[in-house]
Chain A
C-alpha cells in the first residue's frame, strides 16, 4: 500500500502521512477499514517502528485515523477530520508558484480555474 522513496528530501514519516491521505482521498481505503499496525508496517517497509508511530500520531492528530488499543488502527469517519488552518495555509502557499507560472504565460482566471478543476477531478 505504501511505497517509500528514500532519495526524496521529504522525511519518511511525512511520506507515510502523504500516502495514507492519498489512498483515503482516492477512496482506496474507506472509513472503518483497518490499516497495518505500527509494527507490521515497520517490518514491511524496513524502517524503525518509531518512524511509523510518528506518522500514525500525525495522522491521528489530523483525524484521518484512529487507534483502538488492543485492536488496531482504523480510518476515521470523514466528520472526524479536523480542518487545520496552518495546513490550509501551507497548501495555499504550495499552489502559488504554479499559479504564478500560469499567469506569466497569460492564463486567465477562468483558464486557471479549469486547470485546478482538472487536477481535482483526478483525485476523485
Chain B
C-alpha cells in the first residue's frame, strides 16, 4: 500500500497541494480528476519521488505480490482451490506483516523507485539515445527489468527499437514510457494523463494491457485523466482534487448513486426560482420537459417535485462526465 498522509507542496509562494491524504491499494485502480491546476501532477510527482513534500509523509509498505486485499474485485469462491489459495495467502500475509518493509519517503530512495512505475505526462528521455540503448540503461539501473516483457508489449505498441528517442511523437513517447515502466515489474504504477496523445488503437491496447497487469500481477494503480469516460470503465475509486485539496474520495458506483438524473414533465410550467432552493445541482429544459440533477434523491424530494406539479418522471443514466460537471457547477455557485 502507498499511504499519502497529509502532504503539502508549494512552488515559491503558490501552494500547489495542501494537506492531501490518499492510499493506493494493490489490485485496485484509483482515478484522479480535477481542473487544470488542481494539483494532480504535483501529487503524482511527490508520490514518484521527484518532488519532496514540505509537510506530511508518504509511506510505502511493500508486502510483496499476491497479498489479499479485502476490497479486491476478484470474487472469492467456495471451492477447494480457492480455499487453498486463501489459506496460502493468509500465511503469506502474516509473515509479510511481520517483516513488512515499511519505508518512508520515496524521494532519494532508489530501491523504492524500482517498485513504483511512473509515467509522466511529458516523457523526456535522453533524446539522442536509441530505444535499444534506453533499454540497456533500464536493465543496468533496475535488476527487476524484464526485457522479454518489454518485447512482448512492443509486439502490440510497435516502436522501432533502432529509432532515436528524439524522433518519437508525443504518443510514441507515452507508449515507450508505459512499456519501460511496466517491464520494470513494479508493485505500483503512477500514470499522469497516460491516454492523452494516444491514437484510438494505441489507447485501446494501453487500457487492455493495464487491466491485465492489475488482474494478473495485482499491482495498484493511480491514474489521472481528463478523459472521464476512460476512467469510468477503469477505476474502482475516484478522487477529486480541487485547489490542491481532496474534495471527494469514494467508490465510483457510490459517487454515481449520490446524484440522480431525472427527466420530469411539468405540464403547467414551473417557477424555476423554486428549483435552486433544494439540492437541484443543475437543470435544463426543452418546452415543459426538464432534466434535473438532484443530490441524495429520496421519497421526500419526489413528493416535493410532485407538489411543484411534476407529472411524468423518469430516471436517466448518468455518466461520470455529467456528474463531474454538475459538481463543478455547484462549486461555482457557492
Contacts and interface: CB of A to CB of B under 8 A. Distances in A.
Interface of A: 6, 37-40, 42-43, 45-51, 53, 56-57, 60, 66-70
Query: Which of A46, A56, A68, A69 is most buried by chain B, counting CB atoms within 10 A of its CB?
Result: A69
B252 A50 contact: yes
Contact of B234 (A43, A56, A66, A68): A43
Contacts of B66: 70
Given A39-B73, A46-B233, 8 more contacts: A38-B73, A42-B234, A43-B208, A49-B235, A50-B251, A67-B75, A68-B81, A69-B76
Nearest to A59: B75
Interface stretch (B39-47, B211-219, B277-285): B211-219
Interface string B141-169: 00000000000000000000000000000
B211 A53 contact: no
B14 interface: no
A66 B80 CA distance: 11
B271 interface: no
B317 interface: yes
A48 B73 contact: no
Residues of B in contact with A, size category: 20 to 34
A46 B66 CA distance: 28
Given A39-B211, A48-B253, A50-B252, A67 B234 contact: no
Contact of B77 (A45, A46, A53, A67): A67
Interface pairs A-B: 3 shortest CB-CB: A39-B211, A50-B253, A67-B75
B85 interface: yes
A68 B216 CA distance: 12
A79 B269 CA distance: 59
Contacts of B75: 53, 56-57, 60, 67
B216 A70 contact: yes
B78 to A, nearest CB: 9
B95 interface: no
Given A68-B81, A70-B85, A38 B74 contact: yes
Interface in B192-247: 207-208, 211-212, 214-216, 229, 232-236
Contacts of A53: 73, 75
A40 B208 contact: yes
Given A46-B229, A67-B77, A67-B82, A39 B214 contact: yes
B253 A51 contact: yes
Contact of B207 (A43, A45, A51, A69): A43
Contacts of B208: 40, 43
A112 B75 CA distance: 42
B79 interface: yes
A48 B81 CA distance: 28
A4 to B, nearest CB: 11
Contact of A48 (B79, B85, B207, B252): B252
Contacts of A56: 75
Interface string B243-263: 000000001110010000000
A38 B72 CA distance: 11
